[in-house]
Structure 1
Amino acid sequence: MQEKIDQLIKWLREKVKEANADGLIVGISGGIDSAVVAHLIKRAFPENSLGLIMPCKSNPKDKEDALKVVESCGIDYHIIDLTETHQILFSKIEQQLKAKNEWNEERARLGDANTRARLRMTTLYAVANNYNYLVTGTDNAAEWHTGYFTKYGDGGVDLVPLVHFTKSEVRELAKLLGVPNEIITKAPSAGLWEGQTDESEMGTTYEMIDKYLKGEEIPEKDREIIDRLHKRSEHKRQLAAAPPKF
């Protein structure tokens, strides 16, 4: 795994050079995936890497954990609270749709959560533009395969260094890189709403998805869920659909 860390660092440096960029930026959520990426980009660019902590109707514990990640790797960082920005934007959308009696309350929670993810993406690119940095994503192999990310949100990035690593492999990387143990053992969550966890929302576990991706046997129920998630999210892994040239 140490060899893979060295290869990832080399790859990150190559991609920045190819893009004529000056460094890398990542959104630090307080979870393990962004913690690993923060450590990687700090090693790749000790003087030209940046972490962005972006609370948005978030659990205060997530900000505390994000700061622990910053301290563990020594990366430079900014905190930009998006709560008020999100409130203004989403309430305006709600007002306009309710005025036409077209507001769908059942879909509102997911729309709210996805808007937060897309605001973070917009913020990352605005800051990245300031420094001439590339935006580094945090999706792992399990998230990528099942589509457990927001299209043009946390999926809107320049580089995806963890996309071939299962969740268990990400934990191995975290231990080697020096990510704090409380981050490594923290229940995976996108922090979308109170009590939300990745696994409860997906209906299966990262352990099952990891086994599936390795070609190992898993219960049929879990296989069906993973296949359904993959099929339903195919559009997220593609460029915008275009018609044939007429």
Structure 2
Amino acid sequence: MLDLRFSDAELARRRDHITTFIREQVETAGAEGAVLGLSGGIDSTLTAYLTVDALGTERVHGLVLPAHVSSDDNMSDAERVAQNLEISYDVIEIEPIVDSLLQAYPEAEGDREAVGNARARVRAVLNYLVANHENRLVVGTGNRSEAAVGYFTKYGDGAVDCHPIGNLYKGQVRQLARHVGVPEDLAAKTATAELWADQTDEEELGVSYETLDSILAAHVDGPLSVAATARLLEIDEETVATVRGMYERSEHKRSVPPAPEPLE
């Protein structure tokens, strides 16, 4: 696999670059601060650390938004992050809201993907409810790897005002997290979106993050062909082509919704 790790100097530069970006986003919008969802995972944890670094504790508000599929360990970790950073936070159970959606449209009951995405969208609505009320921006927690293959919910966790770690591959997220002082058990924990029970990101993606990062860097973001990437990484071409297909099929999730070309 490719070595995508940053040097110590580059880690410091990335930290400064991201915290400056967060401050500029908030100041340009005339906002009072930031709201972000805390899942207990590494992406939201790193984003929280960087946002506090950029704005200070008083200007950051965390939301812990458990559903019945959320593990107690992850929700406990989410609260631990808020407490360690000394930021204000609220815990809001989202399952009653999801249940009300299914009462309105019971045909979706049992559709794991549809209901899982509904949970992500309910969280987005709550993020913006709090952000609008407090004149804050919603800070996203998505990384470069997941964005590239569409591994996020459109108008769910993708519905944010900015993506501070959006240029970092997943392995780089873990590396920067360690650099800024995130506890090792959080930096190393298994990634899961927890949209349904016992879900893990790598199992759903069908590829490890190490392999995904390398394919993206060499082929999707880089110049190498499918065949050359497979040779370089010593993997089969089908895996590279699968990732390429995920990237192409998810383009609509990374773009502004299209409209017809104007008539002349």
Shorter chain as denominator, the TM-score bin is: over 0.9
Whether 1:72 aligns to 2:84 is yes
CA RMSD of superposed structures (Å) = 1.4
Aligned residue in 2 for 1:15: 25
Residue 199 in 1 paired to residue 202 in 2? yes
Partner residue in 2 for 1:60 = 72
TM-score under structure 2 length normalisation: 0.86
1:139–1:163 contact (8 Å) kept in structure 2: yes
Offset of 1:202 from its aligned partner?
Answer: 0.9
Q: State the 1:66 CA deviation.
A: 0.4
Quote the residue 1:243 is aligned against. Answer: 260
Greater shift in the superposed pair: 135-144 or 175-184: 175-184
Equivalent residue, structure 2, for 1:180: 183
Range with greater deviation from structure 2 (112-121 or 41-50)? 41-50
Q: 1:90 to 1:194 in 2, by over 3 A?
A: same
**Structure 1 residues 173 and 72, CA gap change in structure 2 (3 angstroms):** farther
The one-letter amino acid paired with 1:232 is: R
Indicate if the aligned counterparts of 2:44 and 2:141 stay in contact, CA closer than 8 A.
Answer: yes
Q: What fraction of aligned residue pairs are identical, expressed as a percent?
A: 38
Which runs of no fewer than 5 residues in structure 1 stay unpaired?
A: 98-102
Name 2:8's counterpart in structure 1.
none
* Counterpart pick for 2:166 among 163, 166, 175: 163
8 A contact 1:168–1:210 mirrored in 2: yes
Structure 1 residues 1-246: aligned runs within 5 Å:
1-46=11-56, 47-57=58-68, 58-94=70-106, 97=107, 108-215=111-218, 217-218=232-233, 219=235, 220-246=237-263
Q: Tell me, in whole angstroms, the C-alpha distance in 2 between the residues paired with 1:211 and 1:82.
A: 36
SS of equivalent to 1:130: helix
The residue number in structure 2 matching 1:100 is: none
> How far apart are 1:74 and its partner, in Å?
2.1
The separation in 2 between residues aligned to 1:90 and 1:104, in whole angstroms, is 6
Instruction: Quote the offset at 1:75 in angstroms.
Output: 2.0
**Aligned mates of 2:103, 2:184 — CA distance in 1:** 38
Structure 2 gaps, min length 5: 1-10, 219-228
Secondary structure of the structure 2 residue equivalent to 1:214: helix
2-side partners of 1:204 and 1:118: how far apart? 26
Say how many residue pairs are matched.
Answer: 237
CA shift, 1:104, in A, is 8.4
CA distance in 2, matches of 1:75, 1:182: 20
